[in-house]
Amino acid sequence: MESLIPLAVVALLVSTLSGSGCGGTAADARYPGRPAGCPVKSFPGDPGVPVDPLGDVAVDCVAAGSACSRSVLDAVCARGGDVAWGLGDNALSAVHVTAHAGHTKRVTQGPTERGCPVQVFADAPPMRTENIGPVVAVCSQDDSKEVCLRELEDQTCQLGGDVVWQVEGPTPDGNKQRMRGRAAHTK
């Protein structure tokens, strides 16, 4: 009987690991998979926010025990999601837990043309925004700060943003200069 215990432990670990991965990889190229432990908003019924659905996830919670709910959220993370809903549809004693995975809808509607209007802030913007990501402008040494800033704004436009904040530079970088910031879109 003792020789079966290690096999049972291995079976439980395999069940846990395969269960936490159920739901697969990111279902939508806009939302790449996120690491386990990522923040996820969870709702027992319908999501309380507009979402882009990413499909269902399922976790076998036999081995996960008290970590079952986190395993479900980790499966949502693996899909690229930040929202889980429909959790209240599972029985309290369920060993196979399912949820709907999604990502909060993005405010931006995609890239815009260079030259679009962009608000610039040295610090955090004073209004609600959705962060898009970092932007970097590489400019000639002879370019003025205004020319380099316009390039940074154009990079923001191409990401679908209308705000660039935490702007730094331009700073010398070899025979060029760089300006950095964070692209965002107003909500």
Please name each of the domains of the chain with its CATH number: 4-104 (no CATH), 119-186 (3.30.110.70)
Residue 119 has pLDDT above 90, yes or no: yes
The per-residue pLDDT of the chain, averaged, comes to: 82
Q: Over range 71-86, report the average pLDDT.
A: 92
The pTM for the full model equals 0.50
Integer Cα distance of 169 and 146 in angstroms: 11
Nearest to 152 by CA among 187, 110, 122: 122
* Tokens, residue 108: 């931006």
pLDDT for 11 equals 35
Integer Cα distance of 116 and 11 in angstroms: 57
pLDDT for 10 equals 33
Q: Under a CB-based contact definition with an 8 Å cutoff, are residues 163 and 121 in contact?
A: yes
pLDDT for 104 equals 83
pLDDT for 49 equals 78
User: What percent of the chain is predicted at pLDDT more than 90?
Assistant: 47
Residue 97 has pLDDT above 50, yes or no: yes
pLDDT for 25 equals 54
Integer Cα distance of 18 and 100 in angstroms: 18
Q: Cα 98–67–53 angle (5° rounding)?
A: 30
Residue 20 has pLDDT above 60, yes or no: no
